[in-house]
Amino acid sequence: MLAKLKKLIASSKMGGGDIEDREKFFRRIRGYFATLDARYIAIEKAYDDAKDAFREKYRESGERYFEHIRAVALILIDHLRVKDYELIIAALLHDIVEDIPSWTIPRIRHEYGDTVAYYVELLTKPPLEYFDGDEAARDEAYHKRFLLAPRAFFLIKLADRLHNVMTLWDSKPEKRERKILETKLYYMHFAETHFILLHELEAALLELEVHEELKKK
């Protein structure tokens, strides 16, 4: 199951550059919506907005940050079979408010509507200044939101967490350990409760833990 996901995510990057990547992504969307459908146009705008916003940002692996954004959307579309265009848009924009100062929840609401803004707000950690710079307090408050969040939120959030766990290999050991623990404490319960990506997360965590054990020997 994890191998299938890895293949799905890797396949989006094959070929001769970003034009082909974009074409492959929207080939999937055209399976749901005509190109003149307002929903297709809105997804296209979100894709382009996210790509432009994250143009100068890279992950620890050296990969463009936008590859993570696209991978989360691909997990929703191909693996979870999500067809709700607002969920797809929220997946494409899930990090934009948290990481890009020029994007705010009011801007999301103005450009994409109340439903997308609601999902993106749920997915966005509150600013650290609300907690006097206390990152632990901020994260605790953020994770408390999970208790009252709708199932649709977890389709995006668990896809995001799964991709992050699957791509932790290039992170520092301390970060890997922290993310593994955080996933077990705050994510696995909801994956099981809503039965969303439960087995995939278990497999990704096991793969990481085996890797950590082998490195210690």
Per-residue pLDDT of the chain (217 residues; tens, 9 = 90+): 677 787 777 754 544 444 448 999 999 999 999 999 999 999 999 999 999 999 999 988 888 999 999 999 999 999 999 999 999 999 999 999 999 999 999 999 999 999 999 999 999 999 999 999 999 999 999 999 999 999 999 999 999 999 999 998 878 888 888 999 999 999 999 999 999 999 999 999 998 887 666 566 5
User: Which residue bears the tokens 């607002």?
Assistant: 86
Q: The domain that contains 55 carries what CATH number?
A: 1.10.3210.10
What is the number of structural domains in the chain?
A: 1
Whole-number pLDDT of residue 34? 98
Residue type, 58: Y
Whole-number pLDDT of residue 11? 52
> 18, 60, 99, 134: which one is catalytic?
99
Residue 77 tokens read as 């579309």
Clarify whether 135 is annotated catalytic.
Answer: no
**Which residue range(s) make up the domain with 138?**
2-216
- Integer CA distances (angstroms), 193 to 145, 154, 190, in order: 15, 10, 5
Residue 91 tokens read as 């997946």
Clarify whether 98 is annotated catalytic.
Answer: yes
What lies within 8 Å, CB to CB, of 188 at 6+ separation is: 198, 201, 202
With beta carbons less than 8 A apart as the criterion, state whether 196 and 158 touch.
Answer: yes
Whole-number pLDDT of residue 216? 63
> 23, 48, 98, 209: which one is catalytic?
98
